[in-house]
Structure 1
Amino acid sequence: MEIREPEPAESERIRGVVESSMTTSVRLSPDQIDGIADEEFDDEEVAAKIDDEETLLRVVETGDGIEGTTIAGVVEGRLADEWGEVDWLFVDPEHRGRGIGTELYETMTERLRDRGADHVRVTVLEENTEGHGFVERFGLEHDGDREVVVAGESLVTYVYTDPDVDVSLPTDSRADDATATADTADEDLPDTEMADGSLTTTDGGTRVYLARDEADSGTAAPFFPTYEDEALEQQYGYYCANCGSLEVSMDNMERLACPDCGNDHAERSTDSYDDSRL
């Protein structure tokens, strides 16, 4: 296999790898997958990433012995101060089980360090049922969550770093792109108000406190756990950031749903990991 920088004319094949990989490994709807592929890997975006000095886009080319060579995987990284970030890694399902994902990951982290990164972090969509186990194989640990908006969808990415690194994580390196942090201002959250420095809402006459740093992703907006006390120790329920409802339900599979506006969320399941496929 050969890992190299792609040509702009190869964007269609890259997009095909992205779509097939996400369809197999990411628990999102076909429309959501199409939206991400369109926004992140259409012709113009691939060309822009190739030209961007701070973005590293690499593909792996393999030969099947019959029809010549084909692009079987793609990885994207970028530099953010002393940090290097691996944002996307996709392997065509037909070419998995050959170590392609490992080669892409190791090549990208090496390139980022060559370009000046002192530390490397990896972001994985919460709904990527295989990506979390894959990253953890390299000794990285979950070091926080980041709410992002991709193609109009509010999603959560898990941030993984080396456990020995004691350096504050930078903000989202793509904050000026179409993919940006969804750090919704407090005043934009329906039916909330500040009380003694805490963000609160009321259920009838009961005041409850929102845990902004414990967000769960939703199809329309995030969900935030609510607590009866300001110390956030006695959980009350969940708040829907889309409509302000506290009528959010959770089933026995830990799936959240808002009956008032249809916003919903499905917790990732560790039982669905199959990191060998990458």
Structure 2
Amino acid sequence: MEIRDPEPDEAERIQEVVDSSMTTSFRLSPGQIDAITDEQLSDEAVADKIDDDETVLLVAETGEDIEGEAIAGFVEGRLSDDGEWGEINWLFVDPEHRGHGIGTALYEAAADALRDRGVDHVCVTVLEANTEGHQFVEQFGLEHEADRRVEIAEESFVKYVYSDPDADLDLPTDETEEDAEAEEFPETERSDGQLTATTDGGETVYVARDEEESGTAAPFYAAYEDADFSEQFGFYCANCGSLDISLDNMDRLECGDCGNSHASRSGESYDDSYL
């Protein structure tokens, strides 16, 4: 395996690696994956990033090609505006090549490249939808220190920011974790550490963040009448904050306020395997 700088004409293969990795490992729709790939890693975007002195791009090339494709992984990093931090913001490994240490090699090479450019600390950002990516980052001793809301392809996503817990610097993020949560869960509050919403009649319900159903605009979450999550009230729409959610006999959810909808089993084609 060789870690090297990419060439502009390799953008198409990088896009293939990113697309297959996200399809396998991210809780995102095909449309969201295509939009992210098209915006972040188009032919023009890759060429611009290669020429950008503030950006680190590296690919992993294997000696055993699969269908003639040697590039098996990709990583992108950048320098913070103040030059104090380096940030690794994308890391992907082709599912056919996983389990051979490629992700680790890419992470270490990108971190070294950022330090060679003068930074003392490196953080990593991981999309919230990438569950296994969080576990991968944590094996390097990094901890979830903050959240950042980012706009990609005209859609809002949350990235978790991981860093060395001993680093005594302000993280390169524009939002606090509370700010990101407020945007991700509109019309909610915190009550004794739990996320709550209020019905039109003034009743408090409890939102279960780990009971998520996909939606066309944003996820739905189960809502309960009690803090122990024993009596379900219904569902909460993360797109607009409404609790006016209908459920038909086909298990299809629809928000009465914004039209956000969920078709039963729409997310079952994705799994969480990663590196």
Taking structure 1 as the reference length, what is the TM-score of the superposition?
A: 0.70
Establish whether residue 147 from structure 1 lines up as the match of residue 149 from structure 2. yes
AA matched with 1:28: L
Q: Which residue of 1 aligns with 2:13?
A: 13
Change (3 A) 1:40 1:248: same
**What stretches of structure 2 of length at least 5 have no aligned partner?**
189-196, 205-211, 247-252, 263-270
Aligned residues: 240
Equivalent residues of 1:49, 1:55 under 8 A apart = yes
Change (3 A) 1:223 1:113: farther
Show CA shifts across 1:57-78 (max 9, x none): 1111112179766111000000
Q: Which residue of 1 aligns with 2:255?
A: 259
The match for 1:87 among 86, 89, 96 is 89
Q: Percent sequence identity over matched residues?
A: 63
Establish whether residue 31 from structure 1 lines up as the match of residue 28 from structure 2. no
Looking at structure 2, the residues matched to 28 and 122 of structure 1 have their Cα atoms a distance apart, in angstroms, of: 20
Q: Which residue of 1 aligns with 2:70?
A: 70
Show CA shifts across 1:21-50 (max 9, x none): 111111111111111111111111111111
Equivalent residues of 1:133, 1:273 under 8 A apart = no
Computed over aligned residues only, the root mean square deviation of the Cα atoms, in angstroms, reads: 4.1
Looking at structure 2, the residues matched to 273 and 152 of structure 1 have their Cα atoms a distance apart, in angstroms, of: 25
Q: Which residue of 2 aligns with 1:245?
A: 242
AA matched with 2:154: G
Q: Which residue of 1 aligns with 2:22?
A: 22
Matched ranges for 1:29-68 at <5 A? 29-64=29-64
Looking at structure 1, the residues matched to 65 and 95 of structure 2 have their Cα atoms a distance apart, in angstroms, of: 18
**What secondary structure does 1:72 align onto?**
strand
Quote how far apart the aligned CAs of 1:170 are. 2.1
Q: Which residue of 1 aligns with 2:135?
A: 133
In the TM superposition, structure 1's runs of 4+ consecutive aligned residues that sit over 6 Å from their partners are 65-69, 182-186, 189-192, 235-239
Equivalent residues of 2:142, 2:164 under 8 A apart = yes
**What secondary structure does 2:170 align onto?**
coil
**What secondary structure does 2:3 align onto?**
strand
* Greater displacement, 60-69 / 156-165: 60-69
Looking at structure 1, the residues matched to 163 and 186 of structure 2 have their Cα atoms a distance apart, in angstroms, of: 34
Taking structure 2 as the reference length, what is the TM-score of the superposition?
A: 0.70
Equivalent residues of 1:154, 1:218 under 8 A apart = no
Show CA shifts across 1:120-150 (max 9, x none): 1111111113211111111111112222222
Q: Which residue of 1 aligns with 2:113?
A: 111
Change (3 A) 1:219 1:140: farther
Looking at structure 2, the residues matched to 159 and 190 of structure 1 have their Cα atoms a distance apart, in angstroms, of: 21
